Structure 1
Amino acid sequence: MIDLHAHLDLYPDPVATTKECIERNLFVLSVTTTPSAWSGTAALAKDAARIRTAIGLHPQIAQERRGELGLFEELLPRSRYVGEIGLDGGPELKATWDTQRSVFVEILRMCHVAGGRVMTIHSRRAATPVLDALASEADAGVAVLHWFSGTRRELKRAVDQGCWFSVGPAMLAGERGRGLVAQMPRDRILTETDGPFAQIEGRSLFPWEVAKAEPILADLWAVDEGEVRGQLLANLKRLTTRIAPME
């Protein structure tokens, strides 16, 4: 199983959750919301061969944490993965929009200078500005749009720009989400939970519950679940070879 976007450090018991992921042999991309959270989060999985920790600066707190951009740049050589980053166009964040954009653009510049990274990207109500920024910094790395919720036109543009997508049980629970996923190239899709933020039936998802996405994908693709798992594994292998190994 593959969970390409989970906040391991934000579960009520991060140590127990991480241990369960290791015991279940999950591949997990453990994302962070601030650079200062990276070292402690990486330490959770220091002995886990299949857990990677991404360096992030979440757009919803960019205003408060923009002072950590220097730390972000300092840590960047230590991980091939970046996230959660991006933009959030929610009305409650309108006052922070200019800061969000400047932080996101600077992070993309850093990733370019560093040789490219796998980036898991937040684009709620901001798909077009996110795609504009990615187009302006095309060598920043591989963009994985997490829980994409834009329009079909924006989706087509994202596909044309070479973006990947991570989708999970919460996204696939709705008709609109399933409709978007049906239009995504299946060789650029990976699964996620976005736990503990994403919920099903009022309960936070754990990384191993990413398996709930597989039967839904099987239905959308008109294949069996074994073929879905094979496709997802092949996709993960392709994604992780798109960026040069760390020295």
Structure 2
Amino acid sequence: MHCHLDLYPDPRDQVANIARQKSYVLSVTTTPRAWRGTTELAAGHPRIKTALGLHPQLAKDRKSELSLFDKLLPEARYVGEVGLDGGPECRTFWHDQAEVFDHILASCVKAGGRILTLHSRAAAKDVLDALEKHPGYGVAVLHWFSGTQRELARASEMGCWFSVGSAMLRSQKGRTLAARMPSHRVLTETDGPFGMVAGKPLQPGECADAIKVLADLWDTDEAAARDKVASSFRELVSL
């Protein structure tokens, strides 16, 4: 549900690998300007979808691209990576982040709703507050959620979905949060090439280890866990 296909050293090689593996991949972008080229990477590969994004860490420098975001939005079914980042290095331009995220959510409402993959590092409460202010935005998928258990409960009650990867699930906190997520709204991701295991970037469809952990958390076998995630994925894309 979430990788940065255009930021791998050889994106076209990654596309060929995805095609061979018959994986389904949501490729996110960090700026509206990157969307067209990243979409063209996946041309002829219907299992690869491209999300239109403006990453919160780039909000200050790229908010001038919001007009381009609005222009491209009718062509995009998925939106991401978008959201808020409360890390210390990003707090200095919090106002820009909030302005960009508010605009994106309002645009999604006007467009009839979208499936969004959301960044919420150290900002889960603020992301959820923003979602509540924009009913009709669509469906929220919280990527690599790292908030508190109370924030997780709130997000679950709001109907949010979650995407988890093996990098997230290596930590005890990540596994504890994943165990408390509504299992019928949990999907797999990699966040590659930023998501890494043993110092190596995860490949776009490299989710086998995540499935193993989810199977353990759900007290089932790997085949059943894969089927559950696949069923949830089909439900999401039907919304």
Q: TM-score, normalising length from structure 2?
A: 0.99
- By how many angstroms is 1:146 displaced? 0.2
Q: 2:228 is matched with which residue: 228, 231, 246?
A: 231
Aligned to 2:190: 193
User: Where do residues 34-49 of structure 1 align in structure 2 (5 Å cutoff)?
Assistant: 34-49=31-46
Q: Matched residues in 1 for 2:60 and 2:234: separation?
A: 35
Q: Matched residues in 1 for 2:90 and 2:205: separation?
A: 32
Aligned to 2:204: 207
Q: Matched residues in 2 for 1:155 and 1:94: separation?
A: 22
* Amino acid in the other structure paired with 1:42: T
Q: Matched residues in 2 for 1:216 and 1:85: separation?
A: 27
Q: How big is each residue's C-alpha offset from its partner over 1:146-196, in whole Å with a ceiling of 9 and x where there is no partner? A: 000000000000001110000000000011100000000010000000000
- By how many angstroms is 1:112 displaced? 0.5
- By how many angstroms is 1:142 displaced? 0.2
Give SS of 1:166's match: strand
Q: Matched residues in 2 for 1:209 and 1:235: separation?
A: 18
Q: Matched residues in 1 for 2:182 and 2:65: separation?
A: 35
- By how many angstroms is 1:241 displaced? 1.1
Q: Matched residues in 2 for 1:62 and 1:211: separation?
A: 33
Q: Matched residues in 2 for 1:22 and 1:212: separation?
A: 20
Is the CA contact 2:165–2:190 (under 8 Å) kept in the aligned structure 1? yes
Q: Matched residues in 1 for 2:135 and 2:147: separation?
A: 20
Q: Displaced runs of 4+ in structure 1, greater than 4 A?
A: none
Give SS of 1:124's match: coil
Q: 2:81 is matched with which residue: 74, 84, 106?
A: 84
Aligned to 2:124: 127
- By how many angstroms is 1:95 displaced? 1.3
User: Where do residues 108-123 of structure 1 align in structure 2 (5 Å cutoff)?
Assistant: 108-123=105-120
Percent identity over the alignment?
55
Aligned to 1:245: none
Give SS of 1:119's match: strand
Q: Matched residues in 2 for 1:86 and 1:44: separation?
A: 24
User: Where do residues 143-154 of structure 1 align in structure 2 (5 Å cutoff)?
Assistant: 143-154=140-151
- By how many angstroms is 1:210 displaced? 1.4
- By how many angstroms is 1:208 displaced? 2.6
Q: How big is each residue's C-alpha offset from its partner over 1:87-114, in whole Å with a ceiling of 9 and x where there is no partner? A: 0000111111000001000000000000
2:156 pairs with 1:159: yes
Give SS of 2:193's match: coil
Unaligned stretches of 5+ in structure 1? 243-247
Is the CA contact 2:24–2:205 (under 8 Å) kept in the aligned structure 1? no
Q: 1:100 is matched with which residue: 97, 101, 117?
A: 97
Is the CA contact 2:25–2:205 (under 8 Å) kept in the aligned structure 1? no
* Amino acid in the other structure paired with 1:53: T
2:211 pairs with 1:217: no
Q: Matched residues in 1 for 2:184 and 2:178: separation?
A: 12
Q: Matched residues in 1 for 2:127 and 2:205: separation?
A: 29
* Amino acid in the other structure paired with 1:67: S
Aligned to 1:59: 56
- By how many angstroms is 1:138 displaced? 1.8
Give SS of 2:167's match: helix
Figure out how many residues of one structure are paired with residues of the other and give that number: 239
Could you say which structure has the greater relative contact order, defined with CA pairs below 8 angstroms and 6 or more residues apart? 1
2:6 pairs with 1:6: no
Q: Matched residues in 2 for 1:104 and 1:171: separation?
A: 24
Give SS of 1:6's match: coil
Is the CA contact 2:22–2:47 (under 8 Å) kept in the aligned structure 1? yes
